[in-house]
Amino acid sequence: MADTIKTTYTLDIECLFVDGDTRTIKLQNPKSTIETSEITALNTLILNGGASTSLLIGDKTGADFYRINVVTKVNTTTTTLDLTSTE
């Protein structure tokens, strides 16, 4: 067998709450073409979502969501070495 190379993608969305706390949502394997306008639309959706959204993105003290603070696209490449082959 040969070494195995795997690339994974995550979208890390840091949410800011009115009390200054932050929470990060990690989305596994997001579409590769995500654009700033879609993140802005997500921010608006969360702001207008009311109580149902606070169940999904909650602050430990119950503070209200303020905005999406930072979004980071993360690409991770992992190489698994094949230890069964000998040279």
Examine residue 60 and state whether it is found in any structural domain, yes or no. Answer: yes
Please indicate, yes or no, if residue 40 is contained in any of the structural domains.
yes
Which of 16, 11, 30 has its CA nearest to residue 71?
11
The domain total for the chain is: 1
> Which tens digit of pLDDT belongs to each residue from 23-40?
898 999 888 888 899 988
Only one residue has tokens 């999904």, namely 56
64 domain-assigned? yes
85, part of any domain:
no
pLDDT band at 62 (very low <50, low <70, confident <90, very high): confident
Q: How far apart are CA 56 and CA 21, in angstroms?
A: 16
Is the pLDDT confidence value at 50 over 70?
no
Give the predicted TM-score (pTM) of the model.
Answer: 0.70
Mean pLDDT value across residues 30-56: 77
Residue 66 resides in a domain: yes
All residues at 6 or more sequence positions from 26 whose CB lies less than 8 Å from its CB, including other chains = 10, 11, 12, 13
- Residue 75 located in a structural domain: yes
Identify whether 37 is part of a domain: yes
Residues of the domain holding 75: 4-80
Is it the case that residue 85 has pLDDT exceeding 80? no
**Residue 86 domain-assigned (yes or no):** no
Distance from C-alpha of 27 to C-alpha of 29, rounded to nearest angstrom: 7
Which band of pLDDT confidence, cut at 50, 70 and 90, is reported for residue 46? confident
